[in-house]
């Protein structure tokens, strides 16, 4: 099979597009013929070796895949079933989706949601499913459209793009924070009411600022997340899922103890199955399908290594679908 393979040896860290013998696939109770995978931020970290995402070598990266079951000894899946995988350490400690086949634990899989094609699920991918988890996090904390503006940071990226589309369809007024002013029309096309320059949020700020945001989806972390907390209205919530700007959090407790704001942490990787299915069901109703084409671009498997470098350089807009059979 064709695959992206990451190695670390005496010569250092390397990723290559190569042939891999299927007999090397790891153990698992479901073998999946992969139709599509995708490039998430974490995959690009792994492929470029920017941070230690991969914890065993050699590794096939790819935290997402959509495909067809070829063989299964798991009671919930049979040959021919269409399935979807997001996370569970796949592409980090277990061979992942950037290959033509994968051998996985059936407990990690969910049936491919009926309303989506395999390619559409990868256009959404972990980034989009995490955006949905963030919106669910805002809802659970009582954030409603009438309360005011919702800020989305890292707006032109994968999480940001899908979050904007969902929030706008649900009736929220979305403000998109981006470092790419040339993407303003794209972001407004997804439903953003306005855009702001991400530099307004990226420097050390005051412990408390003007109360502006009813809620926020933050994919950036660091000073940006600290400034988002400082700018939340009384009782507001930020769903924090990312670290594109840094994994530190140079904040004070003031927004929490004086304004009762909530910092809702969002993890997608080990999220229980019921939450995954809820999020994918909600994506089926709350994402504007007309936006999927605008959000995604498509590359062959052989293009994944170059695209990972582009993503790390902040040059990728929206989501990248990988056709592993092309």
What residue ranges bind ligand NDP (CB under 6 A)? Answer: 40-42, 126-127, 130, 154-160, 178-180, 198, 202, 219-220, 224, 241-245, 266-269, 311, 314, 316
Closer to ligand NDP by Cβ: residue 248 or 267: 267
Closer to ligand NDP by Cβ: residue 25 or 295: 295
* Per-residue b or e along 277-310, where b marks 16 or more CB atoms closer than 10 Å to that residue's CB: eebbebbeebbeeebbeebbebbebebbbebbee
> What's the closest the beta carbon of residue 221 comes to ligand NDP, in angstroms?
7
With contact defined as beta carbons under 8 Å apart, do 6 and 47 qualify?
A: yes
> What's the closest the beta carbon of residue 236 comes to ligand NDP, in angstroms?
20
> What's the closest the beta carbon of residue 20 comes to ligand NDP, in angstroms?
26
Closer to ligand NDP by Cβ: residue 80 or 265: 265
In this structure, what DSSP letter does residue 251 have?
-
Q: Please choose, from the candidates 131, 130, 128, 108, the residue with its C-alpha nearest in 3D space to the C-alpha of residue 120.
A: 128
Closer to ligand NDP by Cβ: residue 107 or 267: 267
Distance separating alpha carbons of residues 132 and 127, to the nearest angstrom = 9
User: Cα-Cα-Cα-Cα dihedral of 134, 103, 308, 238, to 10°?
Assistant: 10
Distance separating alpha carbons of residues 60 and 189, to the nearest angstrom = 35
Distance separating alpha carbons of residues 189 and 143, to the nearest angstrom = 23
User: Cα-Cα-Cα-Cα dihedral of 155, 157, 162, 164, to 10°?
Assistant: 10
> What's the closest the beta carbon of residue 141 comes to ligand NDP, in angstroms?
17
Sheet holding 149-152, edge to edge: 194-197, 173-178, 149-152, 213-218, 232-240, 262-265
Closer to ligand NDP by Cβ: residue 72 or 224: 224
Tokens of 131: 């955006």
Closer to ligand NDP by Cβ: residue 64 or 81: 64
Residue nearest to ligand NDP (CB): 157
> What's the closest the beta carbon of residue 258 comes to ligand NDP, in angstroms?
26
> What's the closest the beta carbon of residue 210 comes to ligand NDP, in angstroms?
21
User: Cα-Cα-Cα-Cα dihedral of 185, 133, 203, 249, to 10°?
Assistant: -170
Distance separating alpha carbons of residues 132 and 65, to the nearest angstrom = 18
CA atoms within 13 A of residue 18's CA, in its CB half-sphere: 14
> What's the closest the beta carbon of residue 112 comes to ligand NDP, in angstroms?
20
> What's the closest the beta carbon of residue 72 comes to ligand NDP, in angstroms?
27
Closer to ligand NDP by Cβ: residue 72 or 195: 195
Closer to ligand NDP by Cβ: residue 179 or 189: 179
């Amino acid at each position: 099979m064709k695959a992206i393979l990451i190695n670390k040896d005496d010569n250092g860290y390397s990723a290559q597009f190569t042939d891999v013998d299927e007999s090397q696939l790891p153990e698992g109770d479901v073998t999946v013929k992969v139709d599509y995978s995708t490039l998430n931020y974490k995959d690009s970290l792994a492929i470029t070796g920017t941070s230690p995402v991969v914890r065993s070598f050699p590794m096939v990266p790819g935290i997402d895949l959509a495909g067809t079951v070829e063989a299964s000894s798991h009671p919930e899946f049979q040959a021919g079933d269409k399935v979807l995988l997001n996370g569970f350490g796949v592409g980090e400690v277990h061979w992942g989706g950037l290959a033509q086949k994968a051998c996985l634990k059936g407990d990690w899989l969910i049936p491919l949601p009926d309303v989506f094609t395999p390619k559409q699920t990868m256009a959404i991918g972990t980034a989009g499913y995490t955006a949905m988890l963030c919106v669910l996090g805002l809802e659970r904390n009582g954030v409603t459209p009438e309360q005011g503006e919702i800020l989305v940071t890292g707006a032109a990226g994968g999480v940001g793009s899908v979050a904007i589309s969902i929030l706008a369809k649900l009736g929220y007024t979305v403000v998109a924070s981006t470092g790419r002013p040339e993407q303003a029309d794209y972001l407004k096309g997804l439903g953003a009411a306005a855009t702001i320059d991400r530099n307004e949020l990226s420097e050390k700020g005051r412990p408390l600022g003007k109360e502006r945001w009813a809620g926020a989806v933050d994919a950036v972390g660091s000073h940006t997340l600290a400034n988002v907390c400082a700018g939340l209205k009384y009782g507001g919530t930020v769903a924090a899922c990312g670290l594109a700007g840094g994994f530190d959090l140079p904040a004070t407790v003031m927004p929490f103890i004086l304004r009762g704001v909530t910092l809702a942490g969002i993890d997608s990787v080990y999220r229980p199955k019921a939450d995954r299915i809820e999020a994918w069901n909600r994506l089926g109703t709350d994402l504007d399908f007309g936006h999927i084409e605008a959000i995604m671009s498509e590359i062959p498997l052989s293009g994944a290594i170059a695209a990972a470098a582009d993503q790390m350089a902040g040059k990728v807009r929206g989501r990248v679908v990988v056709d592993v059979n092309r």
